[in-house]
Structure formats: C-alpha cells, structure tokens
Structure 1
Amino acid sequence: MLLMEKVAMLTRQNVPFALAMIIESKGSTPRHVGKMIVYRDGTIEGTVGGGMSEHYVIEESVKAIRNGQSKIVEYKLNTHAKDGIDMICGGTLRVFIEVYTSRPELVLVGAGHLGSALAKLADYLQYPYCIVDDRVGYCTRERFLNATNLFVNEDIGVALLAVNLNERSNVVIVTKDCDDIALKTVLQYPCAYVGMVASKRKIINVFEKLKSEGVTQEQLDQIHSPIGLDIGSETTEEIAISIIGEIIKVSSENKTLRVKQVNR
C-alpha cells in the first residue's frame, strides 16, 4: 500500500497520527524528499532519511500528536554547528509535521427525529457514529446510511453492551422511553461525554430512580442534562447543532487538560 493511501485509510479509521514531510533541504542530507507516518507510540511507516535527524523527527511528531498541533522543525546536520545535531552530513533539513487528530466518535442512542438530525450533522462533519435503538423499524441502514454500526435489541441495555464504549465515546441519549436503562448501562464505562435530552422534571425523576438502583452522585455528575449549548435552539436541527457544539467544546477542554498533564 502506498503511503498516502495508508494516510487516507487511517483518516477513515479515525486513528490519530502525524505525517512528517521534508519541505526543504540544503546541502548534504540523507534525503531531499521523504514522507513518514508516525503513530502515537513512536512506530513509523516510511522514512525522512533515517539516522539521528529521523530520530528527532519521530520524537517531535509524538509530542505534536499529544498536543494536537502541527509544526515545522529544522535541523542542522552538523555536530560542530551551533544548535547542530550529532551528524556529519553538514546540510540543513526542514520537516513539516502534520497532525491528524481523531474526531469525536458519536454513539447516538435513539433513532427517532433527533437521532436522525444528529446523524445528518455527523455526516456533514465527517464524524464517525453508530446508532443504538430498541426498534427494528427505526434503526435501519436505509435511514442511517453512513453509520459505522447499527445496534438493535428490544432491551436497549443489551444493545448498548454490544457497543465498544470507551474513553473516546461521546454518547447522546435520545430514546423514546428508556433513558434510565441507557444511562445506567453507559455509566459503567469511561466515556468522554454522556448527554441526555430531558426536561428538568424528567431529569429529577430519572436521577432519583438511578440513585435508588445504586448509581452514585459522582456518576450522575458526569451527565450533561439539559443537553447542548444554550443557543436558544428550538427546531430539531438547531437542537442537534447545540448538542454537537457542546461535544466539540467538551472534547476541546479534555484535550487541553491532557496536554497540560503530559507537559506537567
């Protein structure tokens, strides 16, 4: 597989990585043209010339992935030059490190009108998403053509157990009448975001029911409800925008927190 074909495949799979590309070389350098995929763990595909300069590029690429920011790095391949690295080539090398960050992964629990609007918005933003519902007639490939997966079971909790819920999952609960079951199941996992569409009265009732079933206040505090940014949304499509907007906001805040922890 060609390197750029691999880049396209990784992008579709929503895998974070960096693409390091030589953008300028002067004098004697290991290579004048080269591209290299760098993964979060430092493994690579391709090359920008090998040797000590490539070692430094890999290190900088891993840092860039963690920070979620692209950058340009420059190296003097001369051990005797000021700020030079331990090489004897004598030339200089500039490399652009382009970071491909993962997009929010949406788990849309509920295939009704709002679930459909959220899916259409996710399609536009090219966010991967799956659909979970307890109604076979609603959760169909015809209605959700681009969903990565459809999970259907008459017990919504059982359907959710089939989803690979993890720290990258952004769960939006918009079920017909089984929000409590969906929430209780989802809260067993370390999801990036959990939101539920509900009125204030419904929130109180659902939370009290979950507390009586052993769900802790700490777990309930993770839930975004009322859901979405306060933008005065009224239509189904506007509510979908407010929800995705809140997920983007939370995702950005979590990324900033992770960067601070890494650089601490």
Structure 2
Amino acid sequence: MLLMEKVAKLNRQNETFALAMIIESKGSTPRHVGKMIVYRDGSIEGTVGGGLAEHYIIEESVKALEKGQSKIVEYKLNRHAKDGIQMSCGGTLRVFIEVYQSRPELILAGAGHLAHALSKLADFLEIPYSVVDDRVGYATKERFPNATNIFVNEDIGEALREANPNEKSYVVIVTKDGDDIVLKTALQYPIAYVGMVASKRKTITILQKLKSEGMSEELLERVSSPIGLDISSETTQEIAISIIGEIIKVSKETKPIKVKQLNR
C-alpha cells in the first residue's frame, strides 16, 4: 500500500496520527523527498531519511499530536553550525508536520426529539454517531438514516455495552428515563466525554445515588451536567446546538476533562 493510500485509510478510520513531509531540502541531506506517518506512540511508517534528523522529527511529531497543532520544523545537519544537530551532511531540511486528529464519535443514548436534532447536526458536521435506546419504534434507520450503528435492547445499559464505547466516544445521555443506568454504564468505559440532559436537582440526585453505590468521586467528576454551552437555549434545536458546541470545545482541549459545576 502506498503511503498516501495509508493516510487516506487512517483518516477514513478516524485515527489520530501525523504526516511528516519534507518540503524543502538544501545542500547535502539523507533525502530530498520523503514522507512518514507518525503515531502517538512514536512508531512510524515511511521515512524522511533516517538518522538523527528523523529521530528529532519523530519527537516533534509526537509533541504536535499531543498539542493537536500542525507545525513546520527545520534542521541544520551540521554539527559545527550554530543551532545545528550532530550530523555531518551539511545541508538543511524543512519538514511540515501535519496533524490528523480523530473526530468525536457520538453515542446518543436516547432516540427522542433531542437525539434526532443532534443527529441532524452531526450529519451536517460529518461527525459519526451511533444511537442507543430501549424503544424499537424510536431507534430506527428511518429516523437515523446516517447512524453508524443502532443498538436497541429493553435493558438500555446493555444496549450501551453493545455500542462498546472507547476513548473516542462522546456519550450524550438524552433518555426518557434510566439516566442513572446509562451513566453508570458509560463511566465503566475509557470514554472521552459523558454529558447528561437533566435538571440541576436531578443531576445531584443521580450523582449522589451512584456515589452511594460505590462509584468513585474521580469518575463522577467526569460527568458534564447540565449539558451544553450556556447560550440561553430553549428550543430543542437550540439545546442541540449548545450540546454539539460543548462537544466540539471539549474535543479541541488538550487537558483532561474538567469538572462542571453543578450549580451552573
């Protein structure tokens, strides 16, 4: 498989990686043309010439992935030059490191009016999403034609387990009931985000219940509720926009998810 074919495949699979590409080469360098895929763990596919320069480029690529920002790096391959690296080639390399970040993958726990509005926004933004519910009549392909998957089970907690959330999953709880079951289940997975539509009083009650059942404070602090950016939203569509806005904001942050104050 050609390297750029692999880049396209990784992008379709919604993976996070960087593409390091030589954009300028002056003088004597190991390679004048080269591309290299760099993963978050520092493993690579392809090459930009090997040696110490490639080692530094890998390091910079991993840093760029951590920050989520593309960048250009330049190296003087001359141990005697000011700011040069310990190589004897004598030339100069400029490399563009392009970061490809995975998009949020929504799991809509609930298939009612708000979930439907969220799915329309997800379609517009090309955000993949799955739907989880305990009602066969609501969680249908007709209502959610572009859903990656639809999971229906009379035990909504089991339906969420079937969705198998992972570190890319942004779980949005908009169920008609059973919020505590869905939340407890969601927090058992290494998800990126979990938000719940609920009043402040209901949120406090559910969190206290889960705490009394032995769930740690650290896990409960990951819950975003009330959910959504504070834009004074009232209609279903406005609430959906506030929720998607919050998810976009959280997905761009490089720090761990912070606790949202319950008295917001």
TM-score (norm 2): 0.87
Q: 2 CA distance for matches of 1:217 and 1:93?
A: 50
Counterpart contact for 2:76–2:84, Cα < 8 Å: yes
- The verdict on how the C-alpha distance between 1:135 and 1:21 changes in structure 2, with shifts beyond 3 A counting, is same
1:70 to 1:226, Cα distance in 2 relative to 1, 3 A:
same
Unpaired segments of 5 or more residues in structure 2? 258-264
Q: 1:174, 1:219 → 2: CA distance?
A: 20
Instruction: Give the aligned partner of residue 250 of structure 1.
Output: 250
- 2:66 match: 66
Q: Offset of 1:152 from its aligned partner?
A: 1.3
Amino acid at match of 1:33: V
Separation (CA, whole Å) in 2 of partners of 1:60 and 1:187: 33
State the secondary structure of the residue aligned to 1:256: coil
More deviation in 113-122 or 243-252? 243-252
- CA deviation digits over 1:113-168, x for unaligned, max 9? 21111122122222222211112232223332332322111110111122222343
Specify the alignment match of 1:130 in structure 2.
130
Structure 1 residue aligned with 2:260: none
Amino acid at match of 2:116: S
Counterparts of 2:185 and 2:108 in 1: how far apart (Å)?
14
Q: Residues 48, 199 of structure 1: CA spacing in aligned structure 2 closer, same or farther, 3 A cutoff?
A: same
| Deviation larger for 157-166 or 236-245 | 157-166
1:9 aligned partner = 9
> Superposed, which structure 2 residues align to 1:88-237 within 5 Å?
88-207=88-207, 209-210=209-210, 213-215=213-215, 219-237=219-237
How far 1:78 sits from its partner (Å)?
2.0
CA distance in 1, matches of 2:53, 2:226: 51
Report the Cα distance in structure 2 between the residues aligned to 1:211 and 1:58, rounded to whole angstroms.
43
> How many angstroms does 1:210 deviate by?
4.2
Tell me: CA distance 1:81–1:204, structure 2 relative to 1, closer, same or farther (3 Å): closer
Q: CA deviation at 1:205?
A: 4.8
* 1:227 aligned partner, one-letter code: I
SS in 2 for 1:144: coil
**Superposition deviation, residue 83 in structure 1:** 2.0
Compute the displacement of 1:213 (Å): 4.5
Q: Aligned residue for 2:25? A: 25
Aligned mates of 2:226, 2:61 — CA distance in 1: 39
Asked if the contact 2:131–2:139 (Cα under 8 Å) also holds between the matched residues in 1, the reply is: yes
Give the Å deviation of 1:246. 1.6
Amino acid of the residue matched to residue 80 of structure 2?
A: H
Distance 1:42 1:216 in 2: 33
Q: Unmatched 5+ residue regions in structure 1?
A: 259-264
Secondary structure of the equivalent of 2:163?
coil
Contact kept? 2:102, 2:168, Cα under 8 Å? no
Shift of 1:93: 0.8
**What is the aligned-residue RMSD (CA, Å)?**
2.3
SS at match of 1:124: helix
**Amino acid corresponding to residue 63 of structure 1 in structure 2:** K
Q: 2: distance between equivalents of 1:112 and 1:231?
A: 22
Amino acid at match of 1:110: G
Q: d(CA) in 1 for partners of 2:208 and 2:78? A: 68
